[in-house]
Structure 1
């Protein structure tokens, strides 16, 4: 029996549900709801009008678990600079200002959104309006847009001449600790073997960076623009095995796991037979979304069909993926020539977020195999969308950036 079922059973004992619920004070109801997943809290809005208003009250948001509010993303401005934008899932008022006005405007002229994790946002902040070259100085900033608190990180260890940072990711779990980590993975740029060589890790607890060499046995190239997942004390991100005589389309894809000390490095092979789309944490499990696209040529037209598959890693020890859903997404829309890309998995329900080339964001219900929402996007966006779940607790309470 899960926590939601246990809570509902308590309300039913010894009296009808309506009578039992009426005996609970608002504070007691909020206390019970605060220990439930965000998905359950949304369902309990249907208990009564009073419960709906209680849960929707802005004054109670700090006590209740939050779900996905939308996606932060960058858009190109004239001259090459970036500006922050937000696509709301609910379609209501924006829960966050994507311009990040609370950062020092006289110090940071150019801000690029890099990553999000459980309510915190990682940014690369430049002191110029636009970056002119790779030598432009910038600083990483971690902030909480809901509370407008932020911390400027010290510079990482001096990079060597023959290496560059392939990806930078944020790791944070407020249920475990109020501290966060930032991981900068680096790889060499000379020679044939272009693969991950190590990582620099910043800890907000120590306020310092440490360097660790890679402990990976295989040579793996990490994907720079794909999402990562922080789960079970490990950062999960996707890469490709650098195998001789294997083309890019058929190369093996792997999930790389790294702990917050950079000492434990593990790999899990991703399902074979589909191209990589996205990974995500949903309802307490790690999921992987893949796709296959087939083109059929007939006398009348050319039909391109995209099949989406959703896999779940139910057991980390066995490293086996279980197929949960599969669907052809072109048929419901009547579209015959559009390529879709899955970029996110909803944390609380069986919903995928897709974007066609040059189009708006679509929310697709895998369980009922139908599109349920459309999110409008700004033109000329960078096509990297960062999921945002508001965090109203006092994370970054020791922030010294303000």
Structure 2
């Protein structure tokens, strides 16, 4: 059983207090724990806390860094999957932001598309699992029965499963779709079910709306005269809408530190991203319908360093760091909102990169989708 957020914070505070009050006994205290006990404690903490505890002692650092223990400990952000569309074909790439930056797996995932007539598209990523949609390349209508399907994959282990055919939509897919309900797949029953929407507002969703799953609720971007988020729980029973703080301006959503976060850049009169100021908002209470402003940062320094305009594409899952992509030369930049610092800059060597999905390795041999509703 994993420790709850309050227990985790209490453990971190207690450990830090003990080490700060007795700095000379840090090594002796650390030596009283067996490796198995240390790993058991660390396995219940967030990845950010685990990396902090590397500073306790050299043995703890080596224990945490040991590859043999990786499948027992929570992992941090390894990088981003992103897509380049060229000649009506999707090419999948990976941008590493930790370690040596190398891709931990072949981002094209060839075992998901053994037939040349089939193609796959990255749909979403959550807790180390990737969701792909598969379809025939020459199919004019991708919703044709038998030609469109979903696959869930764990690229760290190479395990994957194809979901049964989804019930056909009543209307053809288009750029916008009215929120009428949600279709849910249960791995326990192996079947799809439909739940009608109970929100009073008429919200239009973009066909490629970004989706984030956090604290038992799925959030999607939509519009109802203003930018809104639609939230629905795993059973499709509890619905809510959250009006965004920036009117019709669009930002990006992400799951970070167990909460929903939203990052938005400043725009000019023509709705073009200028990114001189960034705001980071957070939904601290899962039952609330109001985001709280967390950080504001001016990144003129970043713009002067690169000479490019940028757009926000993602949020770090473990800290208040956002990621931006230049609008010109295709560079990926991290920016620490809390400390107002420019971090790693990666040259993607590709323009028009789209749909950045954060990837945190899941090293367990079990494919989680087989054990819980998704």
- How high is the TM-score relative to the length of structure 2? 0.85
Q: Residue 393 of structure 1 is aligned with which of 341, 361, 364? A: 364
Q: Which residue of 1 aligns with 2:160?
A: 150
Q: In the TM superposition, what whole-angstrom CA distance separates every residue of 1:380-401 from its partner, at most 9, and x where no partner exists? A: 55411111111112332787xx
Distance 1:197 1:108, change over 3 A: same
SS of residue in 2 equivalent to 1:287: strand
Q: CA deviation at 1:290?
A: 1.4
Which deviates more, 267-276 or 230-239?
A: 267-276
CA contact (8 A) 2:227 2:250 kept: yes
Q: In the TM superposition, what whole-angstrom CA distance separates every residue of 1:318-360 from its partner, at most 9, and x where no partner exists? A: 4332211112223343169743211111111110001121321
Distance 1:305 1:262, change over 3 A: closer
Q: CA deviation at 1:53?
A: 2.0
Q: Which residue of 1 aligns with 2:89?
A: 81
The 5 A counterparts of 1:361-380 are 361-380=332-351
Distance 1:378 1:314, change over 3 A: same
The 5 A counterparts of 1:1-400 are 2-8=10-16, 16-77=25-86, 79-92=87-100, 93-103=102-112, 105-106=114-115, 109-126=118-135, 128=136, 130-135=137-142, 137-160=147-170, 162-164=171-173, 187=177, 195-241=178-224, 251-272=225-246, 275-294=249-268, 306-334=276-304, 338-358=308-328, 359-396=330-367
CA contact (8 A) 2:123 2:133 kept: yes
State how far apart, in whole Å, the 2-side matches of 1:91 and 1:276 are: 32
CA contact (8 A) 1:76 1:82 kept: yes
Distance 1:154 1:276, change over 3 A: same
More helix by share: 2
State how far apart, in whole Å, the 1-side matches of 2:290 and 2:331 are: 34
Q: CA deviation at 1:35?
A: 1.3
Q: CA deviation at 1:132?
A: 4.4
Which deviates more, 333-342 or 44-53?
A: 333-342
State how far apart, in whole Å, the 1-side matches of 2:19 and 2:365 are: 32
State how far apart, in whole Å, the 1-side matches of 2:182 and 2:280 are: 30
In the alignment, structure 1 segments of 5+ residues that lack a partner are 167-185, 188-194, 242-250, 296-303
Q: CA deviation at 1:313?
A: 1.7
Q: CA deviation at 1:65?
A: 0.7
In the alignment, structure 2 segments of 5+ residues that lack a partner are 1-8
Q: In the TM superposition, what whole-angstrom CA distance separates every residue of 1:166-201 from its partner, at most 9, and x where no partner exists? A: 6xxxxxxxxxxxxxxxxxxx83xxxxxxx2222222
- How high is the TM-score relative to the length of structure 1? 0.79
State how far apart, in whole Å, the 1-side matches of 2:88 and 2:349 are: 15
Q: CA deviation at 1:151?
A: 0.9
CA contact (8 A) 1:305 1:336 kept: no
State how far apart, in whole Å, the 2-side matches of 1:275 and 1:398 are: 35
Residue correspondences, number:
353
Q: CA deviation at 1:219?
A: 0.9
CA contact (8 A) 2:77 2:98 kept: no
Q: CA deviation at 1:12?
A: 7.8
Taking only aligned residues, the RMSD between alpha carbons, in angstroms, comes to: 2.8
